[in-house]
Structure formats: C-alpha cells, structure tokens
C-alpha cells in the first residue's frame, strides 16, 4: 500500500490542484460553446456558425510561431497567470456583447490565451509528477476532461435557459479565474534554462524535435491525416443520424454522449500504459478503431449499430489523444516542450480547419453515408501504414527518450 501511495499521481499536491481545475475549465468551455452557438445561430445563417468555429481554430494556428517561445522563454507562473487573465477578460467581454463581430473578435482573444496556456500546462505537468508518471497523469487528465466536457455539455443548455447566454458565459469566465488562482498556488515552477543548448526558433524548433524522433516522425503525420479525414465526418454526422437514419435530436445527443463516454474509457486505459511501445500501438490502434467505426456508422441501419460505432470512435479517440500527448511530452527535450506542444496543437488546428472544408465538400459529393465510409477507409489505411512503419523501428529507438 505504501508503494502504491508513493507512485500515485494524487500524492503530488500540485496535481491535486491542477487536474481538477483544468477539468473544470473544460466544462466551462463546453458551456460557453453551447451558449455561443445558440447566440450566433439565432438570426444568422450557417456562414456565421462556420465563422464562429473558425474563430476558435485560427488563433491557435496564428500563435504557432509565438506560443512555444513564450512558454519556454518565461517563468511558468507568469505565463499561466497572464494568459489566464486574458481569458477571464475575454470571457467577461463575451457575456456583455451581442453582435456577431464583437463576439468573433473576443473568441479570437480567448483562443490566443488558450494557445499559450495549453502548452504551458502541458510542459509544467512533467515537472510536477516526474517523467515516470507522465503517461498515467495524461490519461487521468484526459479522462477527467472527458467527464467535465460531458457535464458541461449537459449543463450548457440548462444554464442558457435559466440564466441566458450572459449567465452561461460568466460561468465560463469564472472557471478561467479558478485556473488563474491555481496557477498562483502551484509551487512547481518551470523557468527558462540558460544552458539548454541554445536551440532557437518557435514552430520550426518544435517541428524539428518531432521529426528528429524515430516514433514521433511516424505518428504525428499520421495524426494529421487522421484529423483531416476523421474530423471531416463531424460536419455530416448530424445529417447521418437525423436524416439518413431518421432519428430525433435526443438520439443524436445520445450518440454524442456515447462517444464522450468511450473517450473517457480510452483515455483511462492509456493512463495504465507505462512504456512508449504500448503508447505507440495505442495510437495506431486508436486510429484503426476510429476508421473501422466510421465505416460501421456509415453502413448502420439501426440505432444499436450506430451506438456501437459511436462508442468505439470515442474509445479510439481517447486512446489516440492520451497516448499521443504522453509520447510527445516524454520524447521531447524538457527545454523544448513548450514549443513542441505548441507546434503540435497549432498544426492539428490547421488540419481541423481543412477538415471542416473537406467535410462540407465530401458531404455534398458523397452524402453522409459515403463520407463516413470513405473517411473511415482512409483512417484505416493510415493506421495500417503507420503500423507498418512502426514495425520497422528498432526497439532501442522506440524506447529512447531525449531530455
């Protein structure tokens, strides 16, 4: 029992502060997204909704050259506090504006703060728990975030109905304020390393680190391809469920909940993996599960089959996200982690934007079922190619970690 306590992530005081606070913030984000979607869709067309989704994505891409440098170049407490205060200010501002232009502008400000805060927390956590517990901490964090996101999605509509969009958005701003307070209370600090080898650059330094690793150079491009084809189906999912299958809004929501629950299970499983070999195959397996499930959903003729596919997609996504996050952190030099995480997040967002465009075009050309089947096959092919390349990597290279 004593050994279990010593190796538990919850034995670290700072983790007991950070993980619940970050999960709470994600719940707030889910509430805010629902409130903003309802606001923007009221009196505006689909183009306004697309603009809102782009406002959430584009700042992360635009901040790629700067976010990593900020995270690696300044004291972590200062970075987290100031980026958090920027998000608090944007969240409060969103609660008190109503027009589309100001809403989009403040969402961009909010996401600029997130583009810095996300890599800053990601790079700080290994300092708190140590390298050996990064995988377990990442899996636990992803699972908590999954639970919080589901809770926030469920609470969002209720809050908007009870307190209006202003009240819901103020709740989101309050969760950012909690993160600021936690950033002040966390004792672990991450400071610039004067003798870190002089590695310069922002996004290019991060990408060089990714492509300089034998495993990341395989898995990260495969992840980019997955994002393009895997997220493209999100555009047509509602049409598949409500149109092709003739199911109502409540069952559409049930499918979303099943995906969320599956993601929690997948992330929890990855938290138990202790070696890079297991995490590598979890990424490949997650991609394969998502590809096969997309095909299954595209061919589904009833609700049960749909739910099986949706749940398995969630499991695959949870495995993919948790295992990739752990690998990127543990296989990157400590002084470069901010830039590596920022480069990964920004490039993934870039491909997410491409996925929105691809999904709309594929939906128009292939229909919802054809889009799901085609994208699922593409995911499965990407998984098979990544798996074949991983098999060619030597065991000594697979377990190598740079510090």
- For 45: left if phi > 0, alpha if psi spans -120 to 50, otherwise beta; the answer is beta
pTM equals: 0.81
d(CA 380, CA 226): 9
pLDDT recorded at residue 397: 61
- Spatial neighbors of 260 by CB under 8 A, at least 6 apart, are 146, 149, 150, 153, 314
In order of 26, 117, 122, 315, the CA distances from 143 in angstroms are 12, 19, 15, 11
Query: Which ranges in 63-133 belong to alpha helices (H)?
Result: 64-73, 76-96, 100-129
pLDDT recorded at residue 93: 97
Q: What is the pLDDT of residues 326-360, one digit of tens each?
A: 898 888 888 888 888 888 888 888 898 888 888 88
Q: Give 152-164 as a DSSP string.
A: HHHHHHHHHHHHH
d(CA 95, CA 103): 9
Per-residue tens of pLDDT for the chain, all 403 residues: 344 444 689 999 999 999 999 999 999 988 898 888 888 877 776 678 778 888 988 898 889 888 988 998 899 999 999 999 999 999 999 999 989 999 999 999 999 999 999 999 989 998 999 888 888 898 899 889 888 888 887 788 788 888 888 999 999 999 999 999 999 999 999 988 654 444 555 678 888 889 988 899 999 988 888 888 778 888 788 788 888 888 876 677 788 788 889 989 998 998 888 888 899 999 999 999 999 999 999 999 899 999 999 999 999 988 988 899 889 888 888 888 888 888 888 888 889 888 888 888 888 899 889 999 999 999 999 899 999 999 888 666 665 554 4
pLDDT recorded at residue 3: 41
pLDDT recorded at residue 199: 52
Structure tokens at 255: 């499918």
Burial of 364 (0-12, 13-18, 19+ CB in 10 A): exposed
State in Å, rounded, how far the first CA of the chain is from the last one: 31
Q: Which of 119, 270, 278, 287 is nearest to 209 (CA)?
A: 119
Q: What is the pLDDT of residues 371-398, one digit of tens each?
A: 999 999 999 998 999 999 998 886 666 6
d(CA 293, CA 316): 9
pLDDT recorded at residue 198: 45
Cβ atoms within 10 Å, residue 221 = 17
pLDDT recorded at residue 305: 94
d(CA 172, CA 283): 32
pLDDT recorded at residue 370: 93
Q: Which of 186, 85, 70 is nearest to 120 (CA)?
A: 70
pLDDT recorded at residue 43: 72
d(CA 292, CA 298): 10
pLDDT recorded at residue 398: 62
């Amino acid at each position: 029992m004593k050994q279990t306590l010593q190796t538990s992530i919850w034995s670290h005081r700072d983790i007991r502060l950070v993980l619940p606070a970050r999960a709470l913030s994600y719940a707030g984000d889910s509430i805010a997204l629902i409130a903003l979607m309802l606001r923007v869709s009221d009196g505006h067309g689909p183009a306004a909704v697309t603009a809102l989704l782009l406002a959430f994505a584009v700042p992360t891409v635009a901040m790629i050259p700067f976010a990593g440098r900020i995270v690696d170049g300044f004291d972590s407490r200062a970075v987290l506090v100031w980026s958090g205060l920027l998000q608090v200010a944007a969240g409060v501002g969103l609660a008190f504006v109503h027009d589309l232009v100001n809403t989009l502008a403040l969402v961009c400000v909010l996401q600029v703060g997130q583009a810095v805060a996300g890599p800053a927390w990601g790079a700080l956590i290994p300092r708190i728990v140590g390298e050996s517990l990064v995988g377990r901490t990442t899996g636990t964090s992803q699972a908590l975030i999954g639970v919080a996101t589901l809770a926030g999605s469920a609470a969002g509509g209720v809050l908007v109905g009870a307190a209006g969009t202003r009240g819901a958005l103020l709740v989101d701003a309050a969760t950012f304020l909690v993160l600021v307070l936690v950033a002040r209370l966390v004792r672990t600090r991450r400071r610039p390393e004067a003798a870190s080898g002089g590695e310069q650059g922002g996004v290019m330094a991060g990408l060089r680190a990714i492509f300089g690793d034998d495993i990341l150079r395989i898995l990260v491009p495969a992840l980019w391809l997955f994002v393009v084809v895997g997220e493209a189906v999100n555009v047509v999912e509602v049409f598949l469920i409500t149109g092709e299958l003739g199911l109502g809004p409540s069952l559409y929501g049930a499918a979303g909940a099943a995906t969320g629950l599956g993601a929690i299970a997948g992330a929890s499983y990855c938290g138990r993996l202790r070696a890079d070999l297991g995490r590598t195959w979890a990424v490949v397996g997650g991609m394969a599960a998502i590809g096969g499930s997309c095909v299954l959903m595209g061919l589904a003729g009833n609700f049960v089959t749909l739910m099986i596919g949706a749940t398995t997609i969630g499991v695959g996504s949870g495995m993919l996200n948790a295992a990739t996050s752990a690998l990127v952190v543990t296989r990157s030099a400590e002084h470069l982690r901010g830039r590596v995480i920022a480069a990964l997040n920004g490039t993934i967002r870039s491909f997410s934007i491409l996925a929105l465009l691809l999904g709309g075009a594929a939906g128009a050309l292939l229909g919802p079922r054809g889009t799901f089947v085609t994208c699922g096959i593409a995911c499965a092919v990407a998984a098979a190619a990544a798996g074949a390349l991983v098999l060619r990597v030597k065991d000594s290279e697979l377990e190598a970690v740079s510090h």
